[in-house]
Amino acid sequence: MTNLVNTTSLPGETARQFEGYRYGDVHVSFFVSATPPGCGPSLHTHPYAEVFIVQEGHLTFILGDETLEAMAGQIVIVPAGVRHKFTNTSSAVGYHIDIHTSSQVAVADSDRYLGQRRNEQEIIHVRLGRSR
């Protein structure tokens, strides 16, 4: 089956979320992100790799014990299980695509999503733009 999806119809506001399983046998998920200056997710992990394509702006990543600066035209690859976060350190909105190598987004060990500490073994399925 062929689908045409408008990004504005995806859940979320600054991070529009596409999950492949919602569209049949699609084995990828991603966020189309427009992150305001000074913003970004808290530290978290995924049980799969995540790939960030920075389109505009400057993002500062924490990847385990490492800090990495990425700007427009660069790609950041985060291996499965590596605790990470990013912050838009630009003075303008940062535009990026965040690819999850899974048909469904799974986040572990994040205080941001449910407002409480979670064990790294516990996987929390996240629906950005909606509270749980």
- Let me know if residue 87 belongs to a domain: yes
Residues in the chain: 132
In a domain, 43, yes or no: yes
Helix (H) or strand (E) holding 111: helix 111-114
pLDDT tier at 1, thresholds 50, 70, 90: low
pLDDT of 121 reads: 30
Q: What is the pTM of this model?
A: 0.81
* Count of domains forming the chain: 1
Using the predicted structure, report yes or no on whether residue 128 has a pLDDT greater than 60. Answer: no
Q: What's 38's domain CATH number?
A: 2.60.120.10
Domain that residue 33 falls in:
11-125
Helix segments in 27-102, DSSP class H: none
Q: What is the pLDDT of residue 2?
A: 74
pLDDT in tens, 29-42: 999 999 999 999 99
What is the pLDDT at residue 63? 96
Domain assignment present for 131: no
Is residue 52 one of the residues assigned to a domain? Answer: yes
Structural domain includes residue 130: no
H/E stretch holding 98 reads: strand 94-100
Quick: pLDDT tens for 63-120.
999 999 999 999 999 999 999 999 999 999 999 999 999 999 999 876 554 333 333 3
pLDDT at 3: 82
Please say if the pLDDT value at position 129 is more than 50.
no
Q: Is residue 112 part of a domain?
A: yes
**Does 53 map to a domain?**
yes
Task: Examine the pLDDT at 21 and tell me if it is beyond 50.
Answer: yes
Query: In angstroms, what CA-CA distances link 53 with 3, 26, 36, 104?
Result: 23, 20, 16, 19
Assigned domain for 4 exists: no
